[in-house]
């Protein structure tokens, strides 16, 4: 009996000696939460390059700037989509897209299916055109198959369903909640376009579009000279 009590007392003493003090445990928990929050904030500001646009030629026609563009969309996995030739009228060029943003809980947890907003390019037009006369890039009813490359069949089917019912997502909040979607909406970005610049379009975690430019690489200038395109002026 005495020996049993001795061991019981020793075990209790060791437990209290080695047990992590409550303050230390709380600090450890807060530090872990802070790291998760910092990682989430970093992901919110991270941008993914999703498309490139280049000016092939520009000229004034009846006082209106007419621009011939080459638009190419990138995908997460696999080769870029085939480039599209597009003509716009006006000093500024608008690029619009459809955006599906998932609930923050999925974004914060980097959910495999809903951990990042979805983007589908819609139209390109100049400020001297009305949207109805713009060039359609893709539509939600028929997104390019390449955007699903690298996805599992279940994830690809899920995304196809969302695009197929995009306008239902816009109009029906109950359906949005069922699919884990926070908002479905249109997005746009625009700039005046000039020859000699490669315009890159990026999207952040929440589906916001940004457009900036960099000088056209010399090798691309040479390639464009050889494909019959009008010359592009280097920066």
Which 3-state string (H, E, C) describes 1-38? CHHHHHHHHHHHHHHHHHCCCHHHHHHHHHHHHHHHHH
Task: Please state the domain extents for the chain.
Answer: 2-41, 48-226
Q: What confidence tens digit (pLDDT) does each residue in 163-218 have? A: 999 999 999 999 999 999 999 999 999 999 999 999 999 998 888 899 999 998 77
- Which of helix, strand or coil describes residue 44? helix
Measured between alpha carbons, how far is 69 from 55 in angstroms, rounded to an integer?
Answer: 5
pLDDT exceeds 90 at position 98: yes
Question: Residues 6 or more apart from 22 whose CB is under 8 A from it?
Answer: none
Residue 43, pLDDT > 60, answer no
Rounded Cα gap, residues 195 and 202, in angstroms? 20
Could you tell me if 199 and 212 are in contact, meaning their C-beta atoms sit under 8 angstroms apart? yes
Q: How far apart are CA 188 and CA 203, in angstroms?
A: 11
What is the distance between the alpha carbons of residues 216 and 195, in angstroms, rounded to a whole number?
9
Instruction: Tell me the pLDDT band of 75, cut-offs 50, 70 and 90.
Output: confident
pLDDT higher than threshold 70 for residue 219: no
Q: How far apart are CA 7 and CA 203, in angstroms?
A: 63
Q: Which sign, positive or negative, has the C-alpha torsion 107, 111, 116, 120?
A: negative
For residue 52, which of 75, 25, 29 has the smallest C-alpha distance?
75
Tell me which of 71-80, 140-149, 153-162 is least confident. Answer: 71-80
Over the chain, what is the mean pLDDT? Answer: 80
Residue 17, exposed/middle/buried by CB under 10 A (0-12, 13-18, 19+)? exposed
Residue-wise DSSP of 146-212: GGGTTS-HHHHHHHHHHHHTHHHHHH-HHHHHHHTEEEEEEEEEEEE--TTEEEEEEEETT--EEEE
């Amino acid at each position: 009996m005495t020996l049993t009590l001795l061991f019981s007392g020793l075990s209790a003493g060791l437990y209290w000696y080695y047990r992590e003090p409550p303050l230390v445990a709380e600090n450890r928990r807060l530090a872990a939460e802070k790291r998760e929050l910092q990682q989430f904030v970093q992901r919110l500001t991270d941008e993914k390059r999703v498309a490139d646009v280049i000016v092939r030629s520009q000229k004034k026609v009846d006082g209106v700037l007419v621009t011939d563009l080459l638009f190419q969309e990138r995908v997460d996995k696999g080769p870029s989509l085939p480039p599209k030739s597009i003509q716009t009228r006006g000093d500024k060029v608008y690029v619009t897209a459809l955006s599906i943003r998932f609930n923050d809980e999925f974004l914060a947890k980097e959910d495999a299916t809903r951990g990042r907003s979805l983007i589908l390019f819609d139209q390109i037009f100049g400020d001297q055109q009305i949207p109805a006369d713009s060039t359609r890039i893709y539509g939600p009813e028929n997104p390019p198959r390449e955007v699903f490359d690298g996805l599992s069949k279940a994830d690809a089917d899920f995304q196809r369903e969302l695009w197929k019912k995009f306008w239902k997502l816009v109009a029906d909040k109950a359906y949005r909640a069922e699919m884990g979607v926070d908002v479905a909406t249109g997005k746009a970005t625009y700039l005046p376009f000039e020859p000699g610049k490669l315009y890159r379009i990026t999207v952040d975690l929440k589906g916001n579009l940004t457009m900036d430019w960099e000088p056209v690489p010399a090798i691309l200038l040479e390639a464009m000279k050889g494909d019959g395109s009008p010359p592009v002026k280097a920066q």
